[in-house]
Amino acid sequence: MDPEFAGRRVEYTGDGLSESQLRPTPAEQFRAWYADAAEAGGESNAMVLATAGEEGPSARIVLLKGFDAEGFCFYTNYGSAKAADIATDDRVALVFPWHHLQRQVRVSGRAVKAPAERSDAYFASRDRFSRLTAWASQQSRPAEGRAQLDAQLAQVESRFGAGDVPRPEFWGGYIVQPREIEFWAGRLGRFHDRLVFRRRGEAPASLEDAAGWEVLRRQP
């Protein structure tokens, strides 16, 4: 055992999360905690996305770009490694690691492509350079060096000039429709609180409707 790592420990001092504090719906609870995380600073919309494809499990950090009654939305290149994983197995997991609040939110569910009009609207809201780089990047594929990336970007800049940069068909959103959402709050001695909204049926349920969810507590 390496003492450099074994000895690192941060004691949790939070008040945890009780059933009486839990909001009636998953959407209300997530928005409340998200607001706390945003107010505390940092990149509160950063989330770990875990997928499983033909080569096994994989995880990376992506940014939450939308949240509503249907689920959690992020955007990517549809030719990326994560998109290939989702095409193989659409079951995914998310983690919001809000360490500074001694909280995390864990989500498991299925990823479905966002409607084209939703992806169009978000893409149009991005700054011009980000729209150009979305065209230029062949995400997840090998690159011979930075010069290759710069050359690809130069080609895209030349193609569009000063004109509009529309959304490429190979780029768009996914919505993670949750099967369950766990709200984890750190407690003294690692005796944490874990309260879970679990979907009652197999079909996707509105995150705004309490009737579609049951609440359970998991042991830490």
pLDDT at 1: 62
pLDDT at 76: 98
- Residue ranges for the known binding site are 9-12, 60-65, 75-76, 82, 104, 122, 126, 130, 139-140, 184, 190-192, 194
Task: Indicate the domain borders of the chain.
Answer: 9-125+172-218
Secondary structure element (H or E) that encloses residue 26, with its range: helix 26-40
190 among known catalytic residues: yes
- Residue ranges for the known binding site for FMN are 60-65, 75-76, 82, 104, 139-140, 184, 194
pLDDT at 10: 83
Which residue, among 124, 121, 91, has the nearest Cα to 108 in the 3D structure?
91
The residue annotated as part of the active site, out of 141, 159, 190, 217, is: 190
Work out the angle between the directed axes of helices 146-160 and 128-136 (0-180°, nearest 10). 120
Alpha helices, H only, 74-183: 81-88, 116-125, 128-136, 146-160
Q: What is the DSSP letter of 79?
A: T
Q: SS3 breakdown of the chain: % helix, strand, coil, rounded to 5?
A: 30, 30, 35
| CATH number of 9-125+172-218, picked from 1.10.10.10, 3.40.50.10070, 3.40.190.10, 2.30.110.10 | 2.30.110.10
Q: What is the mean pLDDT of each run of 10 residues along the chain (220 residues)?
A: 70 92 98 97 96 96 98 98 98 97 98 98 97 94 91 95 96 98 96 98 97 98
- Residue ranges for the known binding site for substrate are 9-12, 65, 122, 126, 130, 190-192
